[in-house]
Amino acid sequence: MGRLVCAAVDATDDLELAVRYDPASADESVAGMPLAGMPVTDDPEAVADCDVVVEFTHPDVVLDNLARWHGFGLHAVVGTSGFDADRVEAVGALWGDGPARCLIVPNFSIGAVVAMRLAERAAPFFPVAEVIELHHDAKADAPSGTAIATAQRIGAAAPEQRRRVEGESSPPGALGAEVAGVRVHSIRLPGLVAHQEVLFGAPGETLSIRSDTTDRAAFIPGVLLAIRGVASLAEPVTVGLDGLLGL
**70 a catalytic residue:** no
Residue 119: C-alpha distances to residues 106, 200, 204 (Å): 15, 9, 19
**List 70, 75, 135, 185, catalytic entry:** 135
Would residue 135 show up in a list of annotated catalytic residues for this protein? yes
Is the peptide bond prior to 171 cis by the omega test (within 30 degrees of 0)?
yes
Q: Which residues are the active-site residues?
A: 135, 139
